[in-house]
Amino acid sequence: MTQVSSVTVSPSFTSRFVVHLLRYGRALCGQPGTPNTWPDDHRWVDDVHWVDVSCLPCLAHKLEDATKATIRNIQEISRSLGVS
């Protein structure tokens, strides 16, 4: 089950809709407006349920964020170990 627009639904639900990743009230892809103004076939999930996102630009932003965080973690570990 997935939390979409504050409603718990089955996984097949997300395949019929464009599911965006929402942060601070906005879709990561830049979808104009807020969820209550989007077309009827658009939904949203938060970061906890990001695996249900079907909007490719939203996914690209999420993966870019995750990659940057991983690189920062690796750099921090390297510094703490004295590895350059």
pLDDT in tens, 31-80: 999 999 999 999 999 988 888 999 999 999 999 988 999 999 999 999 99
List 8's β-bridge partners, or say none. Answer: 3
Domain range summary for the chain, segments of one domain joined by +: 2-81
Residue 79: which region, alpha, beta or left (left: phi > 0; alpha: psi -120 to 50)? alpha
Distance of alpha carbon 12 from alpha carbon 2, whole angstroms: 10
List 2's β-bridge partners, or say none. Answer: 9
Distance of alpha carbon 55 from alpha carbon 29, whole angstroms: 8
pTM of the model: 0.69
pLDDT for res 50: 86
Distance of alpha carbon 22 from alpha carbon 32, whole angstroms: 12
